[in-house]
Structure 1
Amino acid sequence: MPPSDSERNRFSARARRYASVGTRVGGVAARIAGQRLVGAQGGREGNAVALAAALGGLKGPIMKVAQLLATVPDALPPEYASQLMKLQSEAPPMGWAFVRRRMSAELGPDWQAKFSSFEHQPAAAASLGQVHRATARDGSPLACKLQYPDMQSAVEADLGQLNLLFSLRKRFDPAIDTSEIAVEIAARLREELDYVREAKHVALYRHMLKDDAAVRVPKVWPELSTRRLLTLDWLEGTRMLTHKADSLETRNRLATAMFTAWWLPFSRFGIIHGDPHLGNYTIFAEEGRPAGINLLDYGCIRIFPPSFVGGVVDLYQGLLHGDDARVVHAYETWGFKRLNRDLIDTLNIWARFIYGPLLDDRVRTVADGVKPSDYGRKEAFRVHQALKAKGPVTVPREFVFMDRAAVGLGAVFLHLAAELNFYRLFNEAIENFSLERVAARQADALALAGL
């Protein structure tokens, strides 16, 4: 049977994307290979700038992948991570004529009658879609997230080229086996295209955080949502970084809300928001003062088996009490292979860095006197050098977004210069922890959200 017009169009779009990504990234790869062939040294920074420029010009999913890689510790050499972190998350928005046609395709030709108002200019434009402010018929303020066209074809094409990025990493040194990182990023990125699933994630978070007044989760408007259009309450708020100079009391309040929003769902339900990006939350005010955070985006949500959460608690308790057997059990639970004493000691360098504030029963900043620009650099260098000598080590796929969330949250606490007893916050989150309780809570929450 010959392919339909829509199938041909999807194939054509994907083929064009393959060609574009392959040409841009492949050009940088050829440049690096040529330098290695002639023994040229010191070209990493220039190559990193070239790669960032190539990916930044593409926009779309491959740029989002690059941003993800830049925040996963040691997935890329530091010169590359630094350049990729500079990529803008803003993509050229769709024009109004295009938006009108897309909205008509999602909600029908009378779509504008379903709103009291719908702003022509997007409030935000990112790598996979853009957000428009609107007003419901009853006057409620809305946020309408509309996916760009051909994103499924673009994602599949870009994921097909993801190995090119990792092959670049492998050319420098093989200390980290990135194969599982690629699998995990691909799975999460495909999920982000499904706005029906994201709507269920919103319901999931409304359930998990319903008793915490410091974290606000919007409501889904299902009659105004489809697989490629997600309509939520508009939550008014200000950017986190505008509060860096607020009083210590305020900064501590916001940091505590961030801690709760990420670690309570994980420790009690085995679910984590995998993207603590500054654009994914804002600060709401009560009585004229900052009171808590609005969680805005639910595309990158990671649901873990309860055993993985048990590994996190085991590693924490093992480090806290010097229980080596419990530490080893945690790494085994997470899926680290070929464990030996040297590898465990190396992994513990990073673990003690990540867990450091949680192991220290006192009020402190996350950095605790270390300059923010140097925070984690010494530990990352020691880990990398050790793995370079003894590796490679395969990072289990479930570890990827867990580590990313921890590092991302740490960056928020650094920005706020919050002074908290992180030990007590964490121990309150894991109080009365058991795998059975996590499994039961998770099953109830997923059923309630329809997942």
Structure 2
Amino acid sequence: MGRMSGTDDPDRQGGGPPTSSLARASRMLQLPLGAAQRQAVGFGRKLLGADADQVELELRTAAAEQLFAVLGELKGGAMKFGQALSMFEAVLPEEIAGPYRQHLAKLQDAAPPLPSSRVQAVLRAELGSHWRDRFESIDLRPAAAASIGQVHRGVLTGGRPVAIKVQYPGADLALRSDLRQIERLANVVAPLAGGVDVVTISRELAARIAEEVDYTLEAQHQAQAAEAFAGDAEFVVPRVHEATPRVLISDWLDGRKLTTAAESPTEVRNRVGLSYVRFLFAGPARAGLLHADPHPGNYLVLPDGRLGVVDFGLVARLPEGLPPAMGRLIQLAITSDAAAVTAGLAAEGFIAKDVDAGELLGYLEPFVEPAREDEFHFDREWMREQFRHVQGSSNRGGVGMKLTIPPVYALIHRVWMGGIAVLAQLDVTARFRDVLAEFLPGWHD
């Protein structure tokens, strides 16, 4: 199946303006009030002799359930915010992470595609009354759906196959409204997340996600990446032909979804998985951009074996590449220099509270282990084991509750964890350490 400039993520929006924005906003505005009420009740129970730890646990669980129930009602790009917040799951206690996972699973509801009449109305509004003159043909049935739009296959006048991404009418207004309200949730999340600076990180994520509704900005990012990887023997980024705020036209790519590699022979699976992780790290080094949505739906295995990369709506702009401390700190962790790692992470802003250096090094082991070996095998059982390890370190005042994520690392962290998860799903054995050595600044042989 071929497609471009959109993902067939299940997080797509419906066939018209996102509904019930006022209702969603009303429910989100109730969250701070609910938090205040819970704190008052909790204070009263403590005065009456209730166990303080038990009261705090119940308050945090109630806050999580209310928060994630509201996130579960979000659609489109705002739903991406809820998914991006999954980075906090690793540092939340299990009694909080459990409700989070439950409600996050509810964010997978699909909705009907945009009717063809509305597709044509958007094209007319964005490209002019003679929009059809640009194309020899266009299929008004969507080939794929993205978070805030859907993708159609067409052929430009002159015969070039293209993907036409059309934004859902009203998606921009609904997204901005939701994000404004979500930023107000930071004070509700903060007590659940230990030392994590939820307010600052939420603001950074909201700013990046809000950019997704401007397809001209996405086109700039995609064109920048396409130029950086033009003629590459390993990667293909489709060339952009035209963009308006709500329509993006670029080359069509024919290929198989990355997830199909899971059923390929071991050699093919390992090669494709290595290309996938190489692109994640190569983007900042070669294009000054981090493709910040590691979802496998954004990657296609082309017939010639190259990896096609689409959907540049969510990116981190890193003109100088990845932070120079990354390579140095990972190598220090490999050598088990706990004191130096702790000092380095503190200097980068990762440590919110006093932490034992030895415990911190142990907590980081899942992040470092793939870099210790020349070749590493990623599989689901390993991933589950690492998740249990991190969760165990994040309960009841553990080291995970004393760390935070600096804003510059927010999307980097998401891509790192998401990329590792995809490699585990594909059951890949790869020279991950070589990728770090090639692309991470501060890495020395």
Query: Match of 1:371, SS?
Result: helix
Query: Match of 2:240, SS?
Result: coil
Q: Deviation of residue 192 (structure 1)?
A: 1.2
Q: Deviation of residue 90 (structure 1)?
A: 4.0
**In structure 1, which of residues 296, 302, 307 is the aligned counterpart of residue 310 of structure 2?**
296
Q: Give the structure 2 partner of residue 426 of structure 1.
A: 436
Q: Give the structure 2 partner of residue 9 of structure 1.
A: none
Distance 1:301 1:71 in 2: 16
Distance 1:281 1:263 in 2: 15
**In structure 2, which of residues 278, 287, 308 is the aligned counterpart of residue 260 of structure 1?**
278
**In structure 1, which of residues 78, 87, 92 is the aligned counterpart of residue 97 of structure 2?**
78
Structure scoring higher RCO (CA < 8 A, sep ≥ 6) equals 2
Say yes or no: does 1:64 pair with 2:80: yes
Number of residue pairs aligned between Structure 1 and Structure 2: 412
Q: Give the structure 1 partner of residue 415 of structure 2.
A: 405
Distance 1:95 1:120 in 2: 8
Q: After TM superposition, list the pairs within 5 Å mapping 1:364-375 onto structure 2.
A: 364-367=376-379, 371-372=381-382, 374-375=384-385
Distance 1:51 1:263 in 2: 33
Give the aligned residue type for 1:374.
Answer: R
Distance 2:382 2:60 in 1: 24
Q: Deviation of residue 102 (structure 1)?
A: 1.1
The normalised TM-score by structure 1 is 0.79
Query: Match of 1:93, SS?
Result: coil
Please, which moves more after superposition, 207-216 or 45-54?
A: 45-54
Q: Give the structure 1 partner of residue 11 of structure 2.
A: none
Q: Give the structure 2 partner of residue 112 of structure 1.
A: 132
Distance 1:432 1:47 in 2: 41
Q: Deviation of residue 20 (structure 1)?
A: 2.5
Query: Match of 1:221, SS?
Result: strand
The normalised TM-score by structure 2 is 0.80
Distance 2:314 2:397 in 1: 29
Q: After TM superposition, list the pairs within 5 Å mapping 1:184-203 onto structure 2.
A: 184-203=204-223
Q: Give the structure 2 partner of residue 376 of structure 1.
A: 386
Distance 1:43 1:325 in 2: 36
Q: Deviation of residue 63 (structure 1)?
A: 1.5
Give the aligned residue type for 1:82.
Answer: R
Please, which moves more after superposition, 412-421 or 91-100?
A: 91-100
Structure 1 residues 339 and 23: CA distance shift in structure 2, 3 A: closer
Please, which moves more after superposition, 186-195 or 302-311?
A: 302-311
Say yes or no: does 1:334 pair with 2:348: yes
Say yes or no: does 1:97 pair with 2:117: yes
Q: Deviation of residue 326 (structure 1)?
A: 5.0
Distance 1:340 1:267 in 2: 34
Q: After TM superposition, list the pairs within 5 Å mapping 1:228-377 onto structure 2.
A: 228-267=246-285, 270-286=288-304, 291-304=305-318, 306=320, 309-323=323-337, 326-328=340-342, 330-336=344-350, 340-342=354-356, 344-361=357-374, 363-367=375-379, 371-372=381-382, 374-377=384-387
Q: Give the structure 2 partner of residue 143 of structure 1.
A: 163
Query: Match of 1:74, SS?
Result: helix
Give the aligned residue type for 2:212.
Answer: E
**In structure 1, which of residues 403, 417, 422 is the aligned counterpart of residue 427 of structure 2?**
417
Structure 1 residues 376 and 22: CA distance shift in structure 2, 3 A: farther
Q: Deviation of residue 211 (structure 1)?
A: 5.5
Distance 1:308 1:194 in 2: 25
Unaligned runs of 5+ residues in structure 1 are 1-12, 435-451
Distance 2:222 2:324 in 1: 25
Say yes or no: does 1:125 pair with 2:138: no
Q: Give the structure 2 partner of residue 21 of structure 1.
A: 25
Structure 1 residues 141 and 14: CA distance shift in structure 2, 3 A: closer
Give the aligned residue type for 1:161.
Answer: Q
Q: Give the structure 2 partner of residue 439 of structure 1.
A: none
Give the aligned residue type for 2:276.
Answer: M
Q: After TM superposition, list the pairs within 5 Å mapping 1:168-183 onto structure 2.
A: 168-170=188-190, 172=192, 174-183=194-203
Query: Match of 2:312, SS?
Result: coil
Give the aligned residue type for 2:78.
Answer: I
Unaligned runs of 5+ residues in structure 2 are 1-16, 46-54
Please, which moves more after superposition, 83-92 or 25-34?
A: 25-34
Say yes or no: does 1:152 pair with 2:172: yes
Query: Match of 2:124, SS?
Result: helix
Q: Deviation of residue 120 (structure 1)?
A: 1.5
Distance 1:41 1:433 in 2: 42
Q: Deviation of residue 327 (structure 1)?
A: 2.7
Give the aligned residue type for 1:63.
Answer: M
Give the aligned residue type for 1:228.
Answer: R
**In structure 1, which of residues 383, 395, 408 is the aligned counterpart of residue 405 of structure 2?**
395
Structure 1 residues 382 and 209: CA distance shift in structure 2, 3 A: farther
Task: Output the aligned Cα RMSD.
Answer: 3.6
Query: Match of 2:376, SS?
Result: coil
Distance 1:429 1:179 in 2: 31
